[in-house]
Amino acid sequence: SAPPPVPPRSASPLAQKALRVQLQIGAQLRSSLQLRMGKSFDGPDVYAFSQVDAFTAVPFTGNPAAVMEMTKGFLPDKQLQQIAAENNLAETSFWQRRPAQEGAPSELSIDLRWFTPTVEVELCGHATLACAHTIMEEQPAVSKLLFHTLSGILTVTRLPDNRLQMEFPAHVLQPRPDLIDAVGSAVGQVPTEVFWAEGQRDALALFASPTHILDLTPDMSKLSELPPRGLICSAAGSPPGGPAYDFVYRFFAPRCGITEDPTTGSAQCSLVPV
């Protein structure tokens, strides 16, 4: 059965030190199946699989992510990567309950990992949202999730209007004028500024206008040669004739098996502070 309609989203200020993003739950379309591991379909290892459209209220839009609960502990990394490759989505999230649960009954502590079709990543927004939605839909009494990840503890809270609020880290990036020419060559438009910090996966390139973002012509080979694994391209404002936005962006990560992501939650960790 279809979930209840998502209420309209209202604007709210962002905290300065912790990035809080109000998100509409997509998941109007969700598919589930049982995935059996092993040589025989009679084998004992059966895992629930869900695919959720995140960041949208319209089926077949937003960013789809796969969600799988690891009921007997995480499978070997090689198998997790093979599953993610076969899913062929930007990310597959694998989660398991932590053995010792602390806090209120409405809180749940989860170990969470994300895999693209080619690599494990340290942070992913839309697959976290998809995972949180899946868990909270199946367990209505749970209103707060503590995800233990490679990026630390990420908190997702169910709000009174049934939206989910994700609390993610705010990335501190440094100006990198030495990357401007290489980024310009890779995307076909020269940015005004580039920000990146050693150790961060993604760089952020700022452009003069939203039109520049629409006119990007990314060269995946050149993007793969940049030092950061992913590139966020952004500009303040809205395209001519479009809805009013604070900024627009596109995200490319061919080295992670993602040519262009439909929408990227983790990019907000860099975009909002800058």
> What are the phi and psi torsion angles at 88 (to 5°)?
60, 35
Q: Can you state the percent helix, strand and coil of the chain, rounding each to 5? A: 20, 35, 45
Q: Are 233 and 215 in contact (CB under 8 A)?
A: no
In this structure, the number of other CB atoms found within 10 A of the CB of residue 209 comes to: 16
In this structure, the number of other CB atoms found within 10 A of the CB of residue 123 comes to: 22
Using CA atoms, how far residue 246 sits from 5, 67, 145, 209, 249, in Å, is 26, 31, 29, 12, 10
**Both tokens assigned to 169:** 């880290």
SS3 state of residue 134: helix
Residues taking part in catalysis = 91
**Both tokens assigned to 4:** 């209840």
> What are the phi and psi torsion angles at 76 (to 5°)?
-55, 150
> What are the phi and psi torsion angles at 233 (to 5°)?
-115, 125
Half-sphere exposure of 76 (CA within 13 A, CB side): 4
> What is d(CA 227, CA 223) in angstroms, rounded to the nearest whole number?
9
> What is d(CA 15, CA 52) in angstroms, rounded to the nearest whole number?
28
SS3 state of residue 218: coil
